[in-house]
Structure 1
Amino acid sequence: MQAYMGPLENQFNYRPSSGHCVYFIGIGGIGMSAIARILINEGCVVTGSDVRSSSLTSTLEKMGARINIKQDGSFMTSKTDVVVVSSAISEDNPDLKTARKLGIKVVKYSQILGSLMKEKRGIAISGTHGKTTTSAMISTILKTSGLDPTFVIGGEVPDIGGNSHLGKGNLFVAEACEYDRSFLNLAPQIGVITNIEEDHLDYYENIEKIIHAFGDFASLISKEGLLVVNNNDANVALAIQRAHCKVETYSLENASDWRGEIHSVNDGVTRFKIFRKDTFFDEFLLKIPGAHNVLNALAATAVCTYIGVEKDAMKAALASFNGANRRFQIVGVRKDVTIIDDYAHHPTEISVTLRAARGLYPGKRIWCVFQPHQYSRTRHLLKGFSRSFQNADKVIFADIYAARDSEYERAAMNSMKLCEETRAMGVDVRYIPHLCDITKELSFQVKPGDVVITMGAGDVGKVAYDLVSNLG
């Protein structure tokens, strides 16, 4: 387990400039690829490595990046100016060992992100859940309003060009991840905290240390800036006690600076009213499902109002917002079977996503294919996971997708244990280890009218796309 450290003494100030050769270890990661795209557009020479090819690495190669689908140290040269690593890269990685041997400067992804943000007016969106969609909403509003922001988002957003963009405007929107306290490398003038729950316990150990880290984040917002927070979260209330800036709250339940009131949900379209300090602000609509997305829209509205975006521009952008990939993404409809892919990998995310699916598809049989992400997360949150599948009719668990897991964690937990705990909660659940076998089983078992949702932060989305192909 990694040691928990106190507040950072100072922030990192290096950033690559045009002509610098930058090597990314794990370049196919969603955040790493986003920064790589920005640096290519700024004139840097980008190279890197990953363990597999993907649409993200293909996009980078088309932009001019040279990528090695190995991490064996063979692709890095002494001409490299700086090496960027994600939090998933360990010290025994051959590429990283080569960089150390050659004496090349090694920096974290979040440090480069923080250095880029300092050059503009930074907007950092944090939280255990919802930060990708909220970041995407804010970026979409700003871009369609003509403000041309730079943004780095933890998911692909096709409507605005992907997971990153180098804008000419003075705004920089970034999804701020709390793992490894990496969000403390940022320098935001505007911040968002969507919620705070137990997660990344392989690093933080307990909720108190998580709240403390978010308190550090809240204290980073400049005194002249704004912090927008969920007003229905006791952990958030504790964290923001250390904020030095103006704080605005949002909620669906409590009296808040920004309060949402859902008016109707029909054919997947949610209509809701927004009240600002109990005064009617306007009526909005979203075509992505779930009350949790109305909360995300409230946060985005608060931020963009503060920036000065016109109300009608916000309404239009949110009404046309299609969401980020892997956030309740409808992959296809074949033989009257609806196939959806979602990134949910925490008990709360699973629960709210299945609740949204049940509301959107009343009376239909819902299949959930879940690939747990990390042995340690599965072990720490086992009881929560077992209670999160109540709105699914049929559940299938795949093997756990390993990430940063020690041998101890791999030995202590497996999907069969999760299956047994979930079955004890009255859920119809099966354990099928391999994704290819899950696809085959679904191909035989699904019936017209069924809804299939694949869930997880690993590669479980393959099942959704392969099932569309098999049923086609």
Structure 2
Amino acid sequence: MMPNIAQKAVMYTVKDLLQPLVCSTSKSVQATPFTGRRIHFVGIGGSGMSGLAHMLIDFGAKVSGTDRTASPATHRLSEIGATIRYEQTAEAIPAHTEIVVCSAAIKPEHPEYAEAKRRNLEIVKYAQMLGRVMRLKHGIAISGTHGKSTTTAMVSHVLLSAGKDPSFVVGATSAQLGGSARSGAGDYFVVEACEFDRSFHNLHPRVGVILNIEEDHLDYYKNLDEIVESFAKFANQVDPSGVVITSATDENCQRATRNAEAMVETYGIDIAADWQATGIRRFQGKAHFQVVYKGKKMGRLSLSIAGRHNVGNATVAAAIATHCGVPWDQIAIAIESFKGADRRSQVIGSANGVMYVDDYGHHPTEIRATLLALREHYRPQRLVCVFQPHQHSRTRFLLDDFARSFQHADITIVPDIYFVRDSEADRKAVNSGILVERIKENGREAMYIPTFPEIVDHVLRTQQPGDLIVSMGAGPVCEVTDELVRRVRGSGPA
């Protein structure tokens, strides 16, 4: 039996979450814990921060904030009543501010952070405020080492298409969604739940998803066991009247959800699971498959985005939407029309028989899955991957896995490692040249070219009709394919 998560619960405490109320359709019919509160955001233009600020304005807060530069997000916030300054100084915090919300990038020495401390204001991280806001909605939190952004975007798209008017915060932008965050009038709040810094421990959702669990963020966690324990705490925070959805094949997921109070449902492809995707057929550029829930045929789905892993993500999205009361025919239409999220196998352009794609993949499993999906979906004559490693520490900890991740690429080009959150010891312990040699030892062609301009020049000299060039990584490696497209279309060097 499915848990009834489609009933409205306006949540001011975890206990209140268990008391369903009548659904509301207006953003401003009742007071909230944020009504009249003066809340200041440091870094208000960020995707998550701007969406959160918008929601707090809708909940009656008086919002101010700063950022380095103006953007469409800050302009929208100004239009609905936020006071925004583009000088990040101590004086930027208004006189009667009560709470200061900081993005993860803000350090204690930041002038606004230091001023908030001096004035003894309440300082909260973005994830902490996200958790407080979630208590006012039906929370849907999607976690996992891989696939979070795509699945969060897909769920948001399905609920939007079904007229549920959800709020959401996605870790990637999507033109189809109008950006990466939205404040809706409906009951559902869909968020990407990140395990780094144990941020997702601030969330108490009605629906919790754990797509997969692998070693990552080993600059923060000691080992895989500690990562699994962190996901277990997240699972235990899902409302007991709700549901946890997790992989039927991932042993780490099974460990993490073993003691969850909420009902646990599994998903999988062509294996025994509560939610099964079966009979995958591919034609006309789409994957077509049947979804079965506990032995009952729910219906067929068609998926336009590439990759077997996205069949799993679509099955999870369909499961969540079903639990939210969306009819299957609406789910099927929405999933077929979903175009993906930016930097997730995103086609940047094509010219002279060459296709240029960009992807955010920065973990070995993501790289393998994405390269296989690109090869199967587009069938290029050659697949050339420009991979920028993200963090020296991640590259060092997962070096053997990275070295085996490029079996589906004909050529791999590696620039210098993107330096972030690393120590000097990490920086000295590994470099891109070491990774390239390890890739070669695994029988694949690879080369180290230090800078993006050098890579662009090399690719332009050597590319051939039938090639697919993919830039890949969590850093700014997308600049390579952007520049390639500009150059081949006649714009010349940027």
Query: SS of 2:258's equivalent?
Result: helix
Deviation at 1:124, TM superposition (A): 0.7
* Pairing of 1:90-129 with structure 2 (within 5 A): 90-129=107-146
Which residue, 137, 155, 175 being the options, matches 1:138? 155
Aligned to 1:275: 292
Please tell me the residue identity of whatever aligns with 1:174: V
Q: Is the 8 A contact 1:21 1:79 kept in 2?
A: no
The Cα offsets for residues 27-78 of structure 1, whole Å up to 9 and x where unpaired, read as 454433432443455564332235xx69xx443235426354x867675565
Query: SS of 1:96's equivalent?
Result: helix
Q: Is the 8 A contact 1:226 1:246 kept in 2?
A: yes
Q: Is the 8 A contact 2:41 2:53 kept in 1?
A: no
* Pairing of 1:298-317 with structure 2 (within 5 A): 298-317=315-334
Cα distance in structure 2, aligned partners of 1:267 and 1:377 = 38
Aligned to 1:224: 241
Deviation at 1:24, TM superposition (A): 2.0
Cα distance in structure 2, aligned partners of 1:76 and 1:438 = 44
Q: TM-score, normalised by structure 2?
A: 0.87
Deviation at 1:281, TM superposition (A): 2.0
Is residue 45 from structure 1 mapped to residue 59 from structure 2 by the alignment? no
Q: Is the 8 A contact 2:50 2:77 kept in 1?
A: no
Please tell me the residue identity of whatever aligns with 1:469: R
Distance 1:92 1:382, change over 3 A: farther
Is residue 155 from structure 1 mapped to residue 172 from structure 2 by the alignment? yes
Is residue 60 from structure 1 mapped to residue 74 from structure 2 by the alignment? yes
Please tell me the residue identity of whatever aligns with 1:411: K
Is residue 446 from structure 1 mapped to residue 463 from structure 2 by the alignment? yes
Q: Is the 8 A contact 2:42 2:112 kept in 1?
A: no
Is residue 360 from structure 1 mapped to residue 386 from structure 2 by the alignment? no
Q: Kindly tell me the number of residue pairs found equivalent between the two proteins.
A: 456
Distance 1:370 1:36, change over 3 A: farther
Aligned to 1:345: 362
Aligned to 1:461: 478
Runs of 4+ in 1 over 6 A off after TM superposition: none
Which residue, 182, 196, 199 being the options, matches 1:165? 182
Distance 1:95 1:464, change over 3 A: farther
Cα distance in structure 2, aligned partners of 1:432 and 1:410 = 18
Please tell me the residue identity of whatever aligns with 1:234: E
Cα distance in structure 2, aligned partners of 1:74 and 1:438 = 44
Aligned to 2:450: 433
Cα distance in structure 2, aligned partners of 1:87 and 1:281 = 41
Distance 1:74 1:401, change over 3 A: farther
Q: Unaligned stretches of 5+ in structure 1?
A: 1-9
Cα distance in structure 1, aligned partners of 2:161 and 2:460 = 41
Aligned to 2:404: 387
Cα distance in structure 2, aligned partners of 1:425 and 1:306 = 45
Which residue, 192, 200, 215 being the options, matches 1:183? 200
Cα distance in structure 2, aligned partners of 1:453 and 1:172 = 33
Q: Is the 8 A contact 1:327 1:343 kept in 2?
A: yes
CA RMSD of aligned residues (A): 2.3
Distance 1:207 1:291, change over 3 A: same
Q: Is the 8 A contact 1:83 1:104 kept in 2?
A: yes
Cα distance in structure 1, aligned partners of 2:482 and 2:34 = 38
Stretch moving more, 97-106 or 194-203: 97-106
Distance 1:397 1:242, change over 3 A: same
Aligned to 1:20: 38
Please tell me the residue identity of whatever aligns with 1:101: R
Is residue 372 from structure 1 mapped to residue 389 from structure 2 by the alignment? yes
Q: Is the 8 A contact 1:367 1:453 kept in 2?
A: yes
Please tell me the residue identity of whatever aligns with 2:201: L
Q: Is the 8 A contact 1:400 1:414 kept in 2?
A: yes
Which residue, 326, 330, 335 being the options, matches 2:343? 326
Please tell me the residue identity of whatever aligns with 2:469: V
Deviation at 1:402, TM superposition (A): 2.1
Deviation at 1:313, TM superposition (A): 0.4
Stretch moving more, 189-198 or 88-97: 88-97
The Cα offsets for residues 264-283 of structure 1, whole Å up to 9 and x where unpaired, read as 22243111111222332211
Q: Is the 8 A contact 1:231 1:249 kept in 2?
A: yes
Q: Is the 8 A contact 2:140 2:191 kept in 1?
A: yes
Cα distance in structure 2, aligned partners of 1:340 and 1:461 = 9
Please tell me the residue identity of whatever aligns with 1:83: V
The Cα offsets for residues 359-407 of structure 1, whole Å up to 9 and x where unpaired, read as 0122521111111111211111111111111111111112222222222
Stretch moving more, 327-336 or 110-119: 327-336
Stretch moving more, 322-331 or 421-430: 421-430
Aligned to 1:7: none
Aligned to 2:431: 414
Cα distance in structure 1, aligned partners of 2:398 and 2:46 = 25
Deviation at 1:334, TM superposition (A): 1.6
Please tell me the residue identity of whatever aligns with 1:220: Q
Deviation at 1:289, TM superposition (A): 0.5
Aligned to 1:285: 302
Aligned to 2:28: none
Deviation at 1:409, TM superposition (A): 1.7
Deviation at 1:441, TM superposition (A): 2.0
Stretch moving more, 295-304 or 70-79: 70-79
Distance 1:454 1:242, change over 3 A: same
Aligned to 1:206: 223
Stretch moving more, 380-389 or 75-84: 75-84
Q: Is the 8 A contact 1:78 1:104 kept in 2?
A: no
Cα distance in structure 2, aligned partners of 1:94 and 1:441 = 44
Query: SS of 1:203's equivalent?
Result: coil
